[in-house]
């Protein structure tokens, strides 16, 4: 049996422009990978690179042919240790491209076994937490309207992007519009430690459940001071890219944000989750603005974690792939599906 890989670039418009502290996104460019086994089965994956981590669609497009040639040469989707070692050697700085290949390889292997991917790790599908739904930065009234609309659609957990000149007014408007919602806040490294510590007073008053990356990634001392100043659990995202960053943030955060596009694949994500748990940290599984072709794989890891933020494909106007359904934010892992369950839409 031999493997045959293909790549397709998709420029996917978002349903609405999506703004975080670092900038605005209107189109998500992904590279979808398909890996066929010659026996009618196809594994799906996709790369959603982030400029913050030094990747973009061109770097993904440049890296993928060599990575996929290596996978074709190895010829065995069950040889994942070897596949991911070769991917790391060939593209150490291209985590999103490696993630696309890793996801497709794991998907195909699970399809060949005839079981859903989460069963590979013996996970309890019912243990997956609900995903949050993200509210991007806008003026306070628009953010409040958006929050109310998301809650009305059935999603009870909001993740609110902050890092503006008037964050408090924005969050107060959202809280007034969504009094029952669980609210998490992500400042995407926009505050300094003093601003963040000041903010914790009103974040606590507005019953924020989780505070993600309040300060720049390199300011671990500041992150720790924020953590010590508040009862709200503090999460490290930009400050904790892979498993090797976990020991460094362990004394400064309560939660680690794991993303396949940061770890470069599923084995790296499992390692980061295990490292976090070994340091007594909780884990949030997150994503970029992505297609279901990649988010579905993260959904299969969700039973391992306390928090899920896997709404990236919900922000797209159109997704060329269907993955794991998220009705009311519930991650619906189907025991009768094979692989990640991804199929072309």
* Binding stretches for Mg ion (CB under 5 A): 186, 212, 237
Residue length of the chain = 345
Closer to Mg ion at the Cβ: 129 or 341? Answer: 129
Which residues on adjacent β-strands are paired with residue 283? 256
Report in angstroms how near the CB of residue 178 gets to Mg ion at its nearest.
Answer: 20
Residue nearest to Mg ion (CB): 237
Return phi, psi of residue 233, to 5°: -60, 140
Report in angstroms how near the CB of residue 212 gets to Mg ion at its nearest.
Answer: 5
Check: CB of residue 45 under 8 Å from CB of residue 99: yes
Closer to Mg ion at the Cβ: 112 or 131? Answer: 131
Q: What DSSP assignment string belongs to 215-227?
A: S-TT-HHHHHHHH
Structure tokens at 345: 């839409």
First to last CA, the chain: 27
Report in angstroms how near the CB of residue 286 gets to Mg ion at its nearest.
Answer: 6
Closer to Mg ion at the Cβ: 12 or 261? Answer: 261
Closer to Mg ion at the Cβ: 217 or 270? Answer: 217
Report in angstroms how near the CB of residue 85 gets to Mg ion at its nearest.
Answer: 28
Q: What DSSP assignment string belongs to 27-52?
A: EEEEEEEEEE-SSS-EEEEEE---GG
Report in angstroms how near the CB of residue 70 gets to Mg ion at its nearest.
Answer: 31
Closer to Mg ion at the Cβ: 55 or 212? Answer: 212
Report in angstroms how near the CB of residue 302 gets to Mg ion at its nearest.
Answer: 17
Closer to Mg ion at the Cβ: 98 or 259? Answer: 259
Q: What DSSP assignment string belongs to 48-113?
A: ---GGGT--HHHHHHHHHHHHHHHHHH--TT-HHHHHHHHHHH-TT-HHHHHHHHHHHHHHHHHHH
**Distance (Å, rounded) from C-alpha 225 to C-alpha 232?**
13
Closest Cα to residue 48, out of 30, 66, 68? 30
Check: CB of residue 112 under 8 Å from CB of residue 322: no
């Amino acid at each position: 049996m031999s493997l045959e890989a293909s790549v397709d670039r998709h420029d996917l418009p978002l349903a609405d422009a999506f703004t975080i502290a670092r900038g605005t996104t209107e189109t998500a460019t992904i590279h979808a990978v398909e890996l066929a086994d010659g026996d009618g089965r196809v594994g799906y994956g996709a790369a959603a690179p982030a400029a913050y981590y030094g990747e973009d669609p061109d770097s993904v497009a440049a890296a993928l042919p060599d990575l996929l040639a290596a996978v074709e040469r190895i010829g065995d989707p069950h040889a994942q240790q070897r596949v991911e070692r070769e991917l790391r050697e060939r593209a150490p700085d291209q985590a999103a491209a490696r993630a696309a290949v890793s996801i497709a390889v794991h998907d195909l292997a699970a399809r060949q076994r005839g079981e859903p991917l989460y069963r590979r790790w013996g996970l309890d599908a019912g243990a997956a937490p609900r995903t949050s739904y993200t509210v991007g930065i806008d003026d306070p009234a628009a953010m409040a309207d958006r929050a109310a609309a998301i809650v009305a659609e059935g999603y009870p957990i909001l993740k609110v992007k902050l890092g503006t000149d008037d964050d408090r007014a924005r969050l107060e408007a959202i809280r007034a519009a969504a009094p029952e919602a669980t609210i998490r806040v992500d400042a995407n490294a926009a505050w300094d430690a003093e601003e963040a510590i000041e903010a914790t007073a009103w974040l606590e008053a507005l019953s924020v459940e989780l505070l993600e990356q309040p300060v720049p990634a390199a300011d671990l001392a500041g992150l720790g001071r924020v953590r010590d100043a508040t009862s709200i659990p503090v999460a490290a995202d930009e400050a904790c890219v892979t498993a090797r960053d976990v020991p460094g943030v362990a004394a400064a955060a309560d939660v680690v944000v794991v993303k396949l596009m940061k770890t470069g694949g599923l084995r790296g994500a499992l390692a980061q989750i295990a490292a976090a748990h070994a340091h007594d940290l909780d884990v949030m599984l997150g994503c970029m603005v992505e297609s279901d072709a990649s988010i579905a794989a993260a959904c299969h890891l969700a039973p391992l974690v306390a928090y899920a933020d896997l709404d990236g494909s919900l922000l797209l106007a159109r997704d060329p792939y269907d993955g794991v359904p998220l009705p009311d934010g519930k991650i619906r892992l189907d025991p009768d599906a094979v692989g990640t369950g991804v199929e072309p839409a």
